Each structure stands twice: as structure tokens, then as C-alpha cells.
């Protein structure tokens, strides 16, 4: 892209730098990061493409900083959006899947790290893991790629989107997609 656009500059930041050898930026895009790396950010156009959670974070950060949003454009990551499910649209084969929006207090036990946390069910299992510093592989963050597939012990979860990358066999074996699975009862997660 830099060869085609003389004003293009690529900056890489890792949200979870695993190796101490990484000397670049770390963390999510923030006001401080933008001030440091792009001091004239208010005069720029911003084009964002990525998972919905990433785009929402960037959009909210820029709005909070008073960025002129008429200079902001975004494009969805991946294929067609995954359809939202309602209580009436849950198919019988998804008997271990329920939907709903009422938060409940539940415990998530990340067995491989001997870590247990209590949550209200408003965050996905992946988001809870990230807040606790527990690494679960992920990519699309919308249930389309399957990178975040983890094993549970027959736990019921709710999905706000159809988990496209989860087969019936996966479900039967107790697998969930952590990026779009929300706990509704105590969960044991094996990464």
C-alpha cells in the first residue's frame, strides 16, 4: 500500500505481546497512542476494517476524542454479517444453546490456567478471558472462523449471533466459540 500511496504509513501494535523481544507499540488504540504516533490525527481521514469489536472500539475512541466523524469510514471484516438469533429462532439441534439478553451472575473456570472469575454474563467468554489476561486464540471475533473454539463440560451458553464455524459434532462434543458465547451458568473452559 505504501508503494501506491506516498502518505501511507503502517504502524503495528500488539494487544498481547507474548514475547519480550517485541519492541513496538502494545495495547489497544487509544488517545495517547494516537497523539504519540499521529499527532495530526484531527486532520486525517480514518478508514477502519476489522472485527466488529475492533471497529466499535476505534469509533468510540475517536468520538470521545472529538474526531470529526465525517472523516471516518469503516468496512466490515470478513463475509456477510451473521444473522442475529432470537428466542423464537433457536433450532432444536442447538439444544445446548439458548438466547436471551438478561445478565446473570456466573462463574467461569479457565481450567488450564487454574483461574476462576465471576461475571454477569454481559461479556463473551473470550472478552472475559482477555480481561483476565488469559490467552484464547481468536481472529474474526464474530463466530465465522472457528479460531476461538474451546471445550466446555456440557455447559449451556447463549449466542447473540449464529456460531457459523461450529458444527453439530463440535456442539455435541462440548465445544463453543468463545468470541460469541456468553455464559448463562457456571462454565469450565479448557483451552
pLDDT of the residue at 178:
94
pLDDT tens column, 51-89:
777 888 999 999 999 999 888 887 765 544 444 443 333
For 40, the grid coordinates are: 495530526
Query: Model-level pTM?
Result: 0.50
Over residues 153-177, the mean pLDDT reads: 86
pLDDT tens column, 139-156:
888 888 788 999 998 678
Domains of the chain, each with CATH number or no CATH: 13-76 (no CATH), 87-190 (3.10.20.30)
pLDDT of the residue at 162:
83
pLDDT of the residue at 140:
81
For 124, the grid coordinates are: 463473551
pLDDT of the residue at 1:
63
For 28, the grid coordinates are: 489497544
Lowest mean pLDDT among 42-51, 68-77, 121-130: 68-77
Query: Per this entry, what is the length of the chain?
Result: 191
Amino acid at each position: 500500500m505504501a508503494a501506491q500511496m506516498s502518505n501511507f504509513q503502517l504502524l503495528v501494535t500488539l494487544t498481547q505481546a507474548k514475547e519480550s523481544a517485541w519492541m513496538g507499540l502494545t495495547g489497544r488504540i487509544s488517545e495517547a497512542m494516537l497523539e504519540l504516533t499521529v499527532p495530526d490525527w484531527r486532520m486525517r481521514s480514518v478508514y477502519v476494517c476489522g472485527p466488529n469489536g475492533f471497529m466499535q472500539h476505534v469509533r468510540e475512541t475517536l468520538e470521545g476524542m472529538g474526531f470529526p466523524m465525517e472523516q471516518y469510514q469503516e468496512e466490515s471484516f470478513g463475509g456477510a454479517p451473521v444473522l442475529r438469533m432470537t428466542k423464537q429462532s433457536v433450532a432444536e439441534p442447538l439444544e445446548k444453546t439458548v438466547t436471551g439478553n438478561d445478565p446473570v451472575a456466573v462463574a467461569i473456570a479457565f481450567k488450564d490456567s487454574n483461574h476462576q472469575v465471576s461475571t454477569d454474563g454481559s461479556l463473551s467468554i473470550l472478552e472475559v478471558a482477555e480481561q483476565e489476561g488469559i490467552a484464547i486464540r481468536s481472529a474474526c471475533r464474530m463466530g465465522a472462523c472457528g479460531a476461538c473454539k474451546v471445550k466446555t463440560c456440557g455447559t449451556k451458553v447463549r449466542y447473540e449471533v449464529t456460531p457459523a464455524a461450529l458444527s453439530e459434532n463440535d456442539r455435541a462434543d462440548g465445544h463453543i466459540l468463545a468470541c460469541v458465547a456468553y455464559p448463562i451458568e457456571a462454565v469450565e473452559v479448557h483451552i
